[in-house]
Amino acid sequence: GVGYILDRNVVARMGQIMRLSGQAPTDFVALAGFGPALVNMSLTGTIGLAYVLLVGGDLNGPVIGAIFCIVGFSAYGKHPRNIVPIMIGVVLGSLVKPWSAADASGLLAALFGTTLAPIAGRFGWHWGLVAGFLHSSAARSVGPVHAGLNLYNNGFAAGIVAAVLTAVIIAVQAKRGEPPRDE
């Protein structure tokens, strides 16, 4: 609605947003305009809400806050193409582990785990799946370090996953002879 009113060329500019990796600094307002950034924010918020409903999760305070976190950072790096692989990776993790994607910690791992979106954006959706899968375990494992505070353990876990996985991806690409992928 409002995004289209502000910019009649919003569809083309959304394509511009979707081609960006999301690696910082990626200010969508500066790069594509305020209207497309608003449309992107609404799309990613809808995806976050749909994810919670599809896996059968509860809409409680922390989950709604995590959705708002996705919406807010969708003006600065997150878009559907780079968050969906992370969420799917968390779901895949829940299929092979003794917990459900609908558990509160599983929901928060998927929603806050979208902080790993630049990995999917830069290296491809398949690496985004791997990042989400690894994050699903890491977020549950580092909880005692932060007394179970989910925002902190998800951020810490994502940092660990990003540091290790990025090094692995670059090593794999170098071994295959692939050139480094820049923004």
- Copy the structure tokens of residue 181: 């992928």
Give the number of other CB atoms < 10 A from CB of residue 174: 11
What lies within 8 Å, CB to CB, of 144 at 6+ separation is: none
Per-residue pLDDT 10s for the chain (183 aa) are 677 777 778 888 889 999 999 998 899 999 988 999 999 999 999 999 999 999 999 999 999 999 999 999 999 999 999 999 999 999 999 999 888 999 988 999 999 999 999 999 999 999 999 999 999 999 888 877 766 655 678 888 999 999 999 999 999 999 988 877 765
Q: Which residue matches tokens 């996985």?
A: 165
Tell me the one-letter amino acid at 69.
C
